[in-house]
Amino acid sequence: MADLVQVLPWLVWVIPLIGALLTPVFAHINGKIRDIMAAVFALGGAVSATLLLPTALSGETIHSEIPWIPSLNINAGVLADPLSIFIATVVAWICFLIMVYSIGYMHGDPNLTRYWFFMNFFIGNMLLIVLSDNFLQMFFGWEGVGLCSYGLIGFWNKDELKDYVGTRGHTVLGLPQAYSPSQAGMKAFMMTRVGDISFLIGLLILYYYSGTFSFTELAEKTGWSKELVSAGLFIPAAILIFGGAVGKSAQFPLHEWLPDAMAGPTAVSALIHAATMVKAGVFLVARVGPIFYNAAEVTSQVTPLFITIAWIGVFTAFLAATQAVVAKEIKKLLAYSTVSQIGYMMLALGVAGLSTDFALGYTAGLFHLTSHAIFKAALFMGAGALIHATGSKYLHDMGGLRKHMKYTYISMLIVAGSLAGVPFLSGFWSKDAILAATLGASETSSMSIIYALAVVTAVMTAFYTFKMIGLVFFGKPSEHLEEREREGHHVHEAPKIMLIPYTILAGATLAIGIVGFFFEEGLHEMLSRNLEHEFANIHIVEASGGINPTALVSSLAAVGIGGFIAYYYYIARKADPTKITQNNSFARGLYQFFYNRWYMNAIYYWVFVKSVEGFSRITFKNLELGVIDKISTSVATSTITFSTIGRWVDINVVDGVSNGIASAGKVLSGVSRRIQTGVTEEYVFAYVMGAVLLILLFLYILLTGVSV
């Protein structure tokens, strides 16, 4: 038995990967078996993770390693400590439920083999991230999930109009704001890659100075921090690594890819862009934060890192919430909300390093990660069912659906309530814990601003959540629905295979909510004991945060205010909210500003896409074709050597080649050859010029004594 437990952490991520590789094999047998086996392999991962839970609860850690490149001190290994086991279990079960949901949601799609391959490959890589015992292996999974995310956002690669995300025809700063699935996939890939680059550079620096990638070694031998500090790279390395989390978790300034990633199938949005992959960044911070906190000789050395994390977190939470308030598409509203909620988690993890008690913010962040993963996955799956039933992704095309889709309504109400922070649902406790932790932070003077922003965000969260519920389930059916009714499309409840997964998650939200306080205590107990055990310099002050009255009042007030406004306009429908923007130019301006994503998306596009495209085209044209061309025509003529070679080339090559081609053709071939190949004499010239330049460069370096 003991041996089996050692193998389990490997199985958790290897089983889904094997499932991915076997997908084409099962597809060969028949479609049904392929679909079922895909879910079975995901279940295999989930069961293996669950079997590890007793280990986590008893506070033990399984660490197994095999040598990879011994002379570089690189090992492959798994680290199943309470943190990774807990997250792995949550992730794996949500993955399994979404796989089941997918069987219904994706039914009849012609490219399901590709779909299941990417889904299982994703699950395997995600669990690899969670269970890795070192940065390098984690990076493998990190790149793997990025690749799958790209493949799945752009899954509907035919780019049919119905699959576009964003409103077609709407432009900001001259750029269209609707994205085809392929564009959205590419955008997500490139943008998260910016984070990946940052992550990798940070890793290389950390590795060079510490000589290891291993989490446990970095925790035990903290001598590396001294060298990094003296090289001035301690905080830069940490922030570069955090950059990876910013990209993956769609935090400011790399948050713009997530809303457009909604072009993928809704099951994908639920799995990757709400419940799991975007949490990888939070998990990374949960891994890295304590390592750096522990390694610093004095706490003030790491303070800049945690302040950065907290500020980026709270600012993103606020930024995305303002956009969710004005979102028109149900999936986009949920996407903005995801970005915003992850901001809360980052805030909590940042606050952890700014408090006397590291475990408070740490637990709060991970608690919110868990509760959010569960309720957001359910929200997305519910949204998928709604889109299925109504044939539209716009909130205004729905309405009055509570009668026709009773179970979906009840489930959505529960999980939405949790998102809004309604008392005695899981999200209430976790958000309250974050607010309490923020209040507990001892460090900076800006903490009160952060706290205020967090509370304002909570108000907006409650508002947009109930706005969504109101628009979808209350009021009269929209014109769109009535027209569909006339065409004979009746709105009906989702099929069981889709319905059951999200009702289960709604049940989980309710259950965690009921035992919320004790759940938090338990989590705190488990994680803090682990922190103390793994890190010599992290001390836990008290058993648990308990209830902070200020935080409690703030969060109750937030849900009350936000909820009431939404109730007034969208559920009871006592007034028409469109009047506000019609009559008040300030409100209209604000609305436009939020709706156009603070213009960040358009600016990014101009700066990073348009200009880079132009730059590489111009560079190629001028450097490879133009400059050398120009120089040589002006200089080469005077050089006897070159003209001799040139004549020789002309006689032997140009004439030989264009032999038999009329003079007009000769001109043409000259042009085309210049574009696609180039002329030998210029190459020789470039070669010599290159050598001369090299000599000049070297002499310059030598004479001026430049050193790096």
Partner 1 sequence: MDTPLILIPLLGGVAVFMPLLEVIFKGEMRGKFSSHLAVAALLVALAVVIYQPLTSPLELTASSSGLFRNDLMGLFFSLVVLLVALLVATSSLDYMKGRPNEPIYYSLLLFTALGMSLLAFSVDLIMILVAWELMSIPTYVLTGFWKHDAKSNEAALKYFILGALSSGTILYGISLIYGLTGSTNIFQILRASTGIPDSFQSLAILAMLLLVAGLGFKMSLVPFHMWIPDAYEGAPTTISALLSAGTKKAAFVVAIRIFVIALPVLHLDWQLTFAILALITMTLGNIAALTQKTITRLLAYSSIAQAGYILIGLTVALQTELGLIGVLFHVFTHAVMQTTAFLAAALIAKKTGHTDLDSYNGIGARMPVTAFTMTVALLALAGVPPLNGFWSKLVLFTSAIGGDLTWLAVAGVLNSAFSLGYYAWIVKRMYLDEGTSTTHIYEPKPFTIVLMAATIVIVATGIYPAPIYEFARLAVSSLIGAA
Q: Which residues bind partner 1 (CB under 8 A)?
A: 67-72, 136, 139-140, 143-144, 147, 154, 157, 182, 189-190, 193, 196-197, 200-201, 204-205, 207-208, 233, 615-617, 619-620, 623-624, 628, 645, 649, 652-653, 656-657, 673, 676-678, 680, 682-684, 686-687, 689-691, 693-695, 697-699, 701-702, 706-708
Residue position matching structure tokens 């400590």:
81
Cα angle 386, 392, 394 (rounded to 5 degrees) comes to 95
Residue with smaller CB distance to partner 1, 514 or 657: 657
Cβ 708 to partner 1 shortest distance, Å? 6
Cβ 8 to partner 1 shortest distance, Å? 21
Burial of residue 3 (CB within 10 Å: 0-12, 13-18, 19+) is: exposed
Which residues are bridge partners to 75 per DSSP?
67
DSSP 502: H
Cβ 696 to partner 1 shortest distance, Å? 10
CA contacts within 13 A on the Cβ side of 128: 23
Residue with smaller CB distance to partner 1, 207 or 380: 207
For the chain, the distance separating the N- and C-terminal CA atoms, rounded to the nearest angstrom, is: 57
Cβ 122 to partner 1 shortest distance, Å? 15
Cβ 262 to partner 1 shortest distance, Å? 19
Cα angle 363, 366, 370 (rounded to 5 degrees) comes to 135
Residue with smaller CB distance to partner 1, 118 or 519: 118
Query: Residue 527: what residue type?
Result: L
Residue with smaller CB distance to partner 1, 66 or 664: 66
Residue with smaller CB distance to partner 1, 111 or 592: 111
Cβ 286 to partner 1 shortest distance, Å? 22
Cβ 199 to partner 1 shortest distance, Å? 10
Cβ 235 to partner 1 shortest distance, Å? 15
DSSP 262: G
254 by DSSP, 3-state: which? coil
Residue with smaller CB distance to partner 1, 168 or 617: 617
Question: Taking each helix axis from N to C terminus, what angle separates 426-440 and 330-352, rounded to the nearest 10 degrees?
Answer: 40
Cβ 412 to partner 1 shortest distance, Å? 34
Determine how many CB atoms are found less than 10 A away from the CB of residue 390: 24
Residue with smaller CB distance to partner 1, 443 or 629: 629
Provide DSSP, 121-151.
HHHHHHHHHHHBSBHHHHHHHHHHHHHHHHH
Ramachandran bin of 59, using left for φ above 0, alpha for ψ from -120 to 50, beta for the remaining angles = left
Cβ 531 to partner 1 shortest distance, Å? 29
Backbone angles phi, psi at 166, to 5 degrees: 95, 165
Residue with smaller CB distance to partner 1, 579 or 621: 621
**Token couple for 171:** 């432009």
Residue with smaller CB distance to partner 1, 511 or 657: 657
Give the CA distances from residue 501 to residues 118, 385, 425, 512, 523, in Å, rounded to whole numbers and listed in that order: 20, 11, 18, 17, 25
Q: β-strands 171-172, 74-80: how paired?
A: unpaired
Residue with smaller CB distance to partner 1, 5 or 684: 684
Question: Taking each helix axis from N to C terminus, what angle separates 358-390 and 479-487, rounded to the nearest 10 degrees?
Answer: 40
Burial of residue 47 (CB within 10 Å: 0-12, 13-18, 19+) is: middle
